[in-house]
Amino acid sequence: MPRPIPVPDAISKPFWDACNERRLIVQVCTMCDRKQFPPEAECRECGWQFHLEWLETSGRGTIVGFSITYDSRIMAWQEEQPFNNAVVALEEDPEINFFSNLPGVPVGDVPVGATVEVDFIAVSDDQLIPEWKVVE
Amino acid sequence: MARAIHWERNEDPVGIWEHRGKVVLAGAGHSKNTDRRWDGVSMDRTLGAYVVEAARAAMDDAGISPEDVDGIVTSAGGQPAHMSLGSQWGPLRPFFDAPYDSEDGLTYVTAEWIQKQMNLPNVQYMNSHGETVWNLIGLAAQVVGDGRCEVCLVPYPNGNIEGRYHQNPSLEARGGAQWSNPWGWGLSGQGFVFDQYARKYGTNHERMAPFVVQEHANGLLWPYSYYAQHEPGPFTTEDYLNGRWIARDLSIFDCDRPVQAGACYIVTTAERAKDMKQQPVYILDHTESAFTPRSLVQTLDDTESWTDIQAKRSYAGSGLRPEDIDVFAPYDGFAVFTQYFLEAFGWRGVKRGEAHDFCADDITLKGPNPINSGGGNMGTGRMRTVFITDPMEQLQGRAGDRQVDIKAEVAVTIGVLPSNAAALAFSTSPD
Amino acid sequence: MAILLSFDIDGTLELGDPPGGVTIDMVRKAIDLGFIVGSCSDRPLSSQRRMWASLDIEPDFVASKHQLGLVRAQFDDADAYYHMGDRDTDESAAKENDFGFWWHTEAELEPWLELVNSD
């Protein structure tokens, strides 16, 4: 199924490039010791850009809740309805979230609280995006 | 004449509002019809025409003439971030003869357009940046209190045109969409927060039914309600439970129905209102809040924390306590919003996780806890104006069949989103 | 041959909002010809029932738009199933439940009459 493909910009390009290397990275402000995702031009805490670096994550997280989309406004997704929309909290900083459709998990059978591991799927010939799979 | 002013009361501690009780709501008016959408043909049913009709009704209600109006504060598109609802009429479709030769008057309505169409000769202040109706009334109250104008026309348009709006055909996810659209994330945000709420407090979607059913019943008693005009039969628990899912746990009957209607209020000073026709409703306070999630998504923790901040700010600004509020009108643009606002404000002592129990009890108009006595958006359509008009009329004792049996001297109304809200406190007395 | 016709309301039937091109006379004629007739719409069930009652028509079913599968189960001995409507949601509901589908503009031409004639 064709799905919307992320178009990297100046700020997000390192993230998407890392995905293509199967690495999940987030910003970190070394002054505030604060992780940030999605990436921004500045640290939202201190307002400085100079202390922002990229940090590779554990790639592990927990499912903290979900929804099931039955009537999406995103037309590319309408063929897939209904589909899972889970939210994953990053293991080392649960305030950092990622989305997942949990490929292979039947619609509605989302194991909230389960540990998940990042996987990467191709959305085009030259772009991988993070997806997540439940760790048995 | 519109210019950026710092008017919001969104930094703690806000303190008691400096104009508390000195600014009032003195009149309200609505377009006679509330339509599902503009048909693209009837020039007497455009959004602009409906706003003008509502403005005239509001002026009649207050007993003022066009010469009395010296300010117009409006919300051009009726939405947050100064958007108009849905797609634009142009440029794919041709515009019409003046005054409908641009979007202005069709999908949004500016103060300048209104002033010109209504030929208001003495307008000195105009501002079209009111966003949704709570922010709009707050802005108007502030500019009147600050003396920028004295008799302020405050129109609120909310329009809808043909087609399914917000449909996104793009296969490219740019900007903020790069973080959500590849996973089909959208209204799932509301479903997700509800999922977290239901898990945390041991409740479920079916338990929303008493609230939504009661809102529909209340809305049928408001003459401008879309449902009163077009689907006047009762909405039942069976109806609610058979609603099509949009994003679980959000069904089509948790989503407000876009409509085409205009409303208008008269905001003026307490002093000036003495010469006007209606018993004034004193504005005790306005406060605002806006939040951004820590990461990708608004969580239940965010929702509770943000609404708590807004509620505390509102109480600090008005000097009210939860037990002072008689009439309470928390927004329901998605029905689930109401429970977050209700629990934050603690109306009738409701604590976190107790909203569904509260609504399972007696929330009828003639009972002790008539929440959203106007019917909210679920009972009236997406006009939002019932959140101003109903508290106002309840306090004035002119809500007709909707008049609550409880004492109605103080009202609080809150909307639009937990992430972007404004609260207003009204009273029958300036003190 | 038992054929089930499921009518969307808004944008499809003449008394919908917006009005569609399928007239109530067409619906009555279909009933007279022995089709199994009902509505499947995003309107509340009670609202659909009130609509039919106001027309003095007793529908064989009313359903929410996602409930075509229930309709099929209720009339599982029918020989053919058709839904008609004006939205992508109508088309996908029909597809998911193995109903034939007519867009509202096609339905205005009473394509079901040909099914009778070809019987």
Determine whether the interchain pair C66/B36 forms a contact, defined as Cβ–Cβ distance below 8 Å: no
- pLDDT for residue B51: 97
Determine, yes or no, domain membership for B56: yes
* pLDDT confidence of residue B3: 45
- Give the range among A2-6, B61-65, B208-212, B391-395 with minimum mean pLDDT: A2-6
What the block records as the tokens of B167 is 């449909």
Q: What is the mean pLDDT of residues B325-341?
A: 97
Q: What is the pLDDT of residue B2?
A: 40
How close C75 comes to chain B (CA, Å)? 19
Mutate to test the interface with B, among C9, C39, C46 (most CBs of B within 10 A): C46
Q: Is 90 exceeded by the pLDDT of residue A2?
A: no
* CATH class of this structure's domain C3-117: alpha beta
Scanning B297-336 for CB atoms below 8 A from A yields: 297, 299-300
Listed by start position, the domains of chain C span 3-117
Collect all residues of chain C within an 8 Å Cβ-Cβ radius of residue B229: none
Mean pLDDT, residues B45-68 taken together: 98
pLDDT category at B1 given cuts 50, 70, 90 is: very low
Whether C39 and C63 have beta carbons less than 8 Å apart is answered as yes
- pLDDT of residue C62 exceeding 50: yes
Q: Is the distance from CB of C97 to CB of C78 less than 8 angstroms?
A: no
Residues of C in contact with B238 (CB under 8 A): 45-46
Q: Could you read off the pLDDT of B260-310 as tens digits, one per residue? A: 999 999 999 999 999 999 999 999 999 999 999 999 999 999 999 999 999
- pLDDT at residue A118, rounded to an integer: 98
Return the DSSP state at B93.
S
User: What average pLDDT does range B193-213 have in this prediction?
Assistant: 98
Q: What's the mean pLDDT when you consider all of chain A?
A: 96
Note the pLDDT of residue A130: 98
DSSP state of B235: P
Whole-angstrom Cα distance, residue B303 to residue B344?
10
The answer as to whether B138 is a domain residue is yes
pLDDT at B169 over 90: no
- pLDDT, residue C90, reads 95
* The pLDDT value given to residue B90: 83
H/E element, B28: strand B23-30
Is residue B303 in a domain? no
Residue B279 touches chain A, beta carbons under 8 Å: no
Domain that residue B81 falls in: 23-163+258-279
Distance (Å, whole) CA A122 – CA A87 = 20
Predicted local confidence at residue B301, as pLDDT = 97
Whether residue B145 is contained in a domain is answered as yes
Domain ranges for chain A: 9-56, 58-136
Number of domains in chain B: 1
Instruction: Check: CB of residue B386 under 8 Å from CB of residue B219.
Output: yes
Q: Does residue B228 lie in a domain region?
A: no
Domain with residue B274: its CATH number is: 3.40.47.10
**A58-136 belongs to CATH 3.60.20:** no
CA distance B349 to C27: 53
Question: Which residues from B are below 8 Å from A83, CB to CB?
Answer: 184
Q: Is residue B60 part of a domain?
A: yes
B249 preceded by a cis bond (ω within 30 of 0): yes
User: Is the CB of residue B244 less than 8 Å away from at least one CB of chain C?
Assistant: yes
- Comparing B83-87, B257-261, B289-293, B354-358, which segment has the lowest mean pLDDT? B83-87
A37 CB neighbours in chain B (<8 A) are 295-296
Does the pLDDT at position B167 exceed 90?
A: no
pLDDT digits (tens, 9 = 90+) for B206-240: 999 999 999 999 999 999 999 999 999 999 999 99
With 50 as the cut, is the pLDDT of residue A132 above it? yes
Mark yes or no for CB contact B239/C44 under 8 Å: yes
| A17-56 confidence digits (pLDDT tens) | 999 999 999 999 999 999 999 999 999 999 999 999 999 9
Give the number of other CB atoms < 10 A from CB of residue A94. Answer: 14
Answer for the pair B431, B251: CB distance below 8 angstroms, yes or no: no
Measured in angstroms, the CA of A100 and the nearest CA of chain B are apart by 6
Q: How many residues are there in chain B? A: 431
State mean pLDDT over A83-105: 97
